[in-house]
Every structure is written in structure tokens, then in C-alpha cells.
Structure 1
């Protein structure tokens, strides 16, 4: 309804006032006239304030990009609203979105400003916020416009991250500049040793204590500080479990996306080059880069991940473009065969690979209608046994597997990978 229409209150006032006056005049009873007088006055005042302008409605959100658990406000703007006295808003309640007030219905006088509705997405992804119905009333509630259906505004909800500070070394830093200690000497802050002075050494590197004690010039050598490339491989072939939002129990995709966002933020802040590759329906990917703008690109891609199997899951999965000195972090519940294949293949090639297990501990699959729950439970246990075999084979190949438990999960594993990369290798010829 986009035009003003009489309300039921105006109709009752007209009917009761008219009937009371007619009966009072016909019966000659002034009591009926007195009883009908308030309704006549109400109808007259309401018709005197008959609206002549059709207002225009518009809604907007304070933010179009949010993080999980962060709220925004939906504001209603009225134009040509001189004839409006009261505003009523009834907001939709989409999945994984909290609304305040809880029922999504607010009302207030137009002269005090249209009432606002607070919205808070509780899960990452694309969300449509601000869908609602708005009803306007003229003075004395004689005329109503609406309810008018207003469409929502698309919002990208970025995954929540828990910042953490890790001092673990990268296994194979081969970049130009960064915060990781390299195996070669160079201009850095980490002490590597003291050696005799050679032509070309900088004078500020001279260690005068050792030089005076030995009678010959000696200089301090340091290890270079370099960056490394981190490739995040996200398994989006399926989502196991039911997501409870940022405040409830997570599903496998919740853990995967949030862990990828936390790891990417940590390495970008450390000066490393980070890339993203999604194995799933959308096949989203982001090339290597660094800086705050690149981190935002990765977070945007993670917020728009499409969950689902590809038509040919084996095609192109191994083409990850891994470069020398890169560390591959595979985030997966390890229930799909292509993910285990890519981790094993990269490990055999000598690439530093780390598998982050994102399968929730208490996850249970949904039982299809018509299937015996005992049969479904048996099938799920068999699938978990197959998964444990895959994890054991990866560990035997030298690919560490660690369950995601929040910040600090990767510290010990990254240290072991860094120590292992410095050991001599036996290569068969």
C-alpha cells in the first residue's frame, strides 16, 4: 500500500457518531446525542488533518562491512513527512542475525525522529540486513500508509579473528626483507658470530673488545631477516556440523574460515607474503601480497566462500603455484580425498606443509529422512576411521597435523618445521 487509506478507527468514529446523532434526533433523546458527540468530534478532527502529501521512505545501514558479533544500526529517513505523526517498523529476522529489540518491532513519534533498529550478524558470509515493513499514521490515527515493504542492503561479514603474537620462525624464508631469521648472514639483528675483518666489512661492525684482545680487527656477523610466502589452502568442499554463530558451537567451515583469517592477519603483520586458495565450488583465490590492503582482500574472499563440491574435484587441485621458500597451511576437516592428496604430494616434493584439522570434536552428521539413525551413526564412525588412517599416513610422510585450538596452535609445529628445514637432506640419485 503506497497511498493513504482510512483506518478502522476513523470508520468506527464516523459510523458511531452518525448513528448516534440520527437516533438522538429521531428519538428526541439528548443522551444519545451526548454519547455520539465524542465520535463526531474525533471524526471531524481526523478529517481536518487529512494527509495531502505522500512521504518517501528510505533506509540505510551505518556500515556495509562488519565482523562477526559487531553490530550496526538501520536508520529510516522520511521525506515530505509533514502529515506523519507516528512511525512503526517491523524488521525481518534472517538467520544468524540478532535484532534489538528481539521481536524487531519499534514505533515512535515522527517529530522525535524515526526509531532505529540495531542489527548484529553472528556469522561470516554475505548477509542481507535491513529488510522490513514500515507503517505511517496521520494525526489522530485517522489515515495509514503501508505497510510498505523495504528491501535490505547486502553486507559482507568478515570472520572474527583473535590476534596473537607468535615468535616461531618460518621454515624457509627466502624473501627480501622480513622478520624471520635466515640461515645466511646479512644485515640483521640476530647475532651469528664473530670473525676476522675482511675487505668490504662495515666499520660499525667492528668488535673492539675482541680486536684489542687478539691484536687483529674482528667484526660481528648477523643473520639476515627475510620474509616468507604463506599459502593458505581452505577446504570448502563441505560444511560439517551446525553453526551456532560467533557465540555458539562452530561448524567445520566456521573453524576453517576463522583460522585462515587469524593466520593471514598474523603473517601479514609480520611482513610475510600471504596467498589464499579455496578448494570448493567458487574456487576463490588471492595471489601473494603483503600489507593491510592485501589482508582486506583475503578477508573479503573468506567472507564470500561458496561451500560445495566442484564438478571435477581432482582437476586443478594440485596446481597451487607453490614457490620456493613457501609454507603451505592446509585448513581442512580432512574428510575429502583431494585435500589429503595435495598435502601428501607437496610433502613428497619437499615443501613445508602443515595441515590444520578443523573438524569439531563433537560434530555429528545430519540424518536424512527415512534413514535409520543407527545406520547413519555406523557410517559416520567408519568415515572417521578412514580419516584417522589418512592422518596417520600424512604424519608418516612428515606432514604435521594439528587441531585448531585458537591462537598459539601453530607455534610448536612451526618451530619444528624450521628446525627440520635446517637439517641436511639425503637425496636419492
Structure 2
């Protein structure tokens, strides 16, 4: 591809200085001054004639190296017959600018650290060729960019709350039904269907020394929990309230409420799936088919991928009724609770008998730079939000704030349900 090359300012200044020195040396009869001017003049003309005929080409390709959590990786491929000045920026922020020696093709690793999740632009790369001796520069090459899908990285959680009723014939939790695998339920006289290995000979010897009756130990059955994670994707607000109207973008180095919701939901999904429970996912801000409850490592991958694709889609839709849930499921709702929609569906689910855990994902706000009117508006918003959360607490909806040690609050809710194994509250 033929590209227009222009003489650089440094080379043009060198040629001008060389001509001036030659003229001064000739007029004054000073050969030493003329020789000083000949060197930059000859070098400038020689380097200008050696300028390349083609410009640089830059590409962004996927990297073969697996990126670590919170990082994005790609390879910057530069094709040029000479050196290249490469610039990398992300959004309005310049990340790097480097001089690269290229003779043909060169591949440069690009690593970008981010606290954001979901679909986003990895970087925007542009290049400008520099000829031999920096005597010429090419037109900037067309910039290239590459989008990436950043999956939320789950964080480890401790004990997690359980739904009021457990389901299934296997699992990691003790239920109220008789079966095998759980703790001692009672000691009962032997009846048809009991296994011989269940006979408790100590109790039998104490109660029936003549062995006219045998006693067996009965246990609680193990069961699994069904958990539905509901993410409210209608709000994606940052710590700065001045960015909420959308005219000013939030800082790229600060996670938004939707980033926190994705991380919180992924962490809860990993915690329940590690226990052998079944976890599903639904989006309160979009009318689409939910991800049904399932178990295993592949289910966690599906949930993380679906969470990464969750984003605000146009004007928020008002649902005529809350999403349908499996019977006896535990509901974890991740929202900012800046309006009544999330609180309304949480109250409907609680009245239907589900155990509902409301996870507040509003980031810590910065209000010092706000004006008087903005402070008043934030005060009204905060008062309405606190009233909303208080109404949920009155309905026995359990509240967890993700920005303030969520593992401690979740462990407290888990201990609250251990009063009676598998019992409804």
C-alpha cells in the first residue's frame, strides 16, 4: 500500500541549517564553516531519498496466553519497513506511546488491567512510520480496535443461607425427610424395609436384653438447594452521581453498580455450586428466557458468561408480574434499589413464601464535589432508598450490602437458618 511520506521537522531544520552554513562559509571564505554545513545537508538529502514507499500496517490479534483475573491480553502485530511510533489508548485515556524498531513484522504483547466487566473495547492502537534517520514520517495508519468480553471474577465466600425447603434425593445439606447420609433422626423398632446394617446393638441390648425386638438408627436424608440469582441490569451507575445522567462517562478505573452485581452474582453462584446445589439466573431488566437452575462447573461458566452479557437495554421495561421461580427456591436479588421496581418484585416473592436475600450493589458515593442542588437531590434519593429498604426489612426480606464485608453478613444469615435443619421459617 503506497503511503505519502512527509519530511520531518528535524530533518527540514537540519537541511536549512546546512544551507545557511554553506552560504556563510562561501561568503566569508571559511571552508571550515562550509564543511560543518555540508554534513547535515548531505545526511538529510540521503535519508530523504531512502524513505520507504509503503506505510506501516497494524493489527490487533487474540493472544495465546491465558489472561489473569482482571486483565485483558492481545497481540499488536506491526508490519513496516522501518521504525514505527505506536500509540495505545483506551477510551479518552492514553495508555502507552512507544518507539518500536521493525524490519518486516513484529508482534508486541499488550496487557490491559481493568476493574470493569462485560463487553468493552480492549484498546485502540494506531501507528506512524518513521523513515531512516528520522528524516521522514508517514501518514498515521488507520487505527484498529478490538472488543473483548470480560467475565466477572468470583470472590470466595464463607457460609451461605439456604432456602426454606430443600429438594432432591441427594446433596450436601441435611433435610427433614428420613433417609441416609445426614445426622441422627431417631431410634426406631425394626420394621420391614429397614436394613440390617442400621441395627443399633447398644440400644437393642439396653432396651431388649432378650433380643425380642431390634432397634435401628434412622437418619435425615441429604438434599440440595435451589437458588435463583436475579440481577437488576436497569441501573449501571458509578460512584460519582454527576455521571448518572449519562452525559459524562464514569471513570474506567472505578467499578459501577453493574460490575459489582456481576461479581456478587458470580461469587454466590460459585459458592452454591461448590456445595452441589442448583443455581439459575434471571435478569430483571430484560424480558428474555432465564437460565434454568443447574449444577456443575459448566453451569458456573454459563452463569459467568450470561452475567458478562447483562447490560442496560434501552428504556427499562415494567414487568406486569415478577419472574416465575421454582417452588421453595432461595432468591438473591442484586440491585441498587434506586426505584420501586426491584423492591416490588422482592416483596411479591417474599409473600409467596420464598426466602429473599436483597443484595445492595450501589457503590460508595463521592459527594464532596457536588453543588448545593445536587446535594439536595442526593439527599432526597437517599431518603427514598432507605425507606424502600426499611419496607423490605419489615417484610422479612434479608438485606446484604456488597461493599461492606458481604461474607460476614451472608454467614450470619446462614447461621440464622441452622436452628432447624430444612425447616421452613
**TM-score normalised to the size of structure 1?**
0.79
- Using the alignment, how far apart are the partners of 2:252 and 2:171 within structure 1? 33
Report deviation, 1:5. 1.0
Report deviation, 1:380. 3.9
Report deviation, 1:204. 3.5
Report deviation, 1:128. 0.5
Residues 42-74 of structure 1: per-residue CA shift (max 9 Å, x gap): 145425644355554322343799676x22444
Q: Is the 8 A contact 1:128 1:155 kept in 2?
A: yes
Residues 161-205 of structure 1: per-residue CA shift (max 9 Å, x gap): 321231654421113432121111223243323333333333433
SS for the counterpart of 2:407 is: coil
Q: Is the 8 A contact 1:171 1:352 kept in 2?
A: yes
SS for the counterpart of 2:409 is: coil
Which residue is equivalent to 1:412? 412
- Using the alignment, how far apart are the partners of 2:417 and 2:28 within structure 1? 103
Gaps of 5+ in 1: 368-372
Structure 1 residues 54 and 380, CA gap change in structure 2 (3 angstroms): closer
Report deviation, 1:302. 2.1
1:68-87 matched pairs, under 5 angstroms: 70-79=70-79, 81=80, 83-84=81-82, 86-87=83-84
Which residue is equivalent to 2:202? 209
1:272-421 matched pairs, under 5 angstroms: 272-280=277-285, 285-307=290-312, 310-316=315-321, 318=322, 320-360=323-363, 362=365, 373-374=371-372, 376-404=374-402, 405-417=405-417, 419=419
Which residue is equivalent to 1:104? 96
Which residue is equivalent to 2:124? 131
Structure 1 residues 31 and 274, CA gap change in structure 2 (3 angstroms): same
Which residue is equivalent to 1:235? 232
- Using the alignment, how far apart are the partners of 1:71 and 1:424 within structure 2? 44
Q: Is the 8 A contact 2:55 2:141 kept in 1?
A: no
- Using the alignment, how far apart are the partners of 1:13 and 1:364 within structure 2? 55
Cα RMSD, aligned residues only: 3.7
Q: Indicate yes or no: 2:197 matched with 1:223.
A: no
- Using the alignment, how far apart are the partners of 2:127 and 2:23 within structure 1? 38
- Using the alignment, how far apart are the partners of 1:37 and 1:158 within structure 2? 61
- Using the alignment, how far apart are the partners of 2:424 and 2:15 within structure 1? 98
Report deviation, 1:366. 9.5
- Using the alignment, how far apart are the partners of 1:379 and 1:29 within structure 2? 79
Structure 1 residues 36 and 335, CA gap change in structure 2 (3 angstroms): closer
Gaps of 5+ in 2: 241-249
- Using the alignment, how far apart are the partners of 1:309 and 1:113 within structure 2? 42
SS for the counterpart of 1:173 is: coil
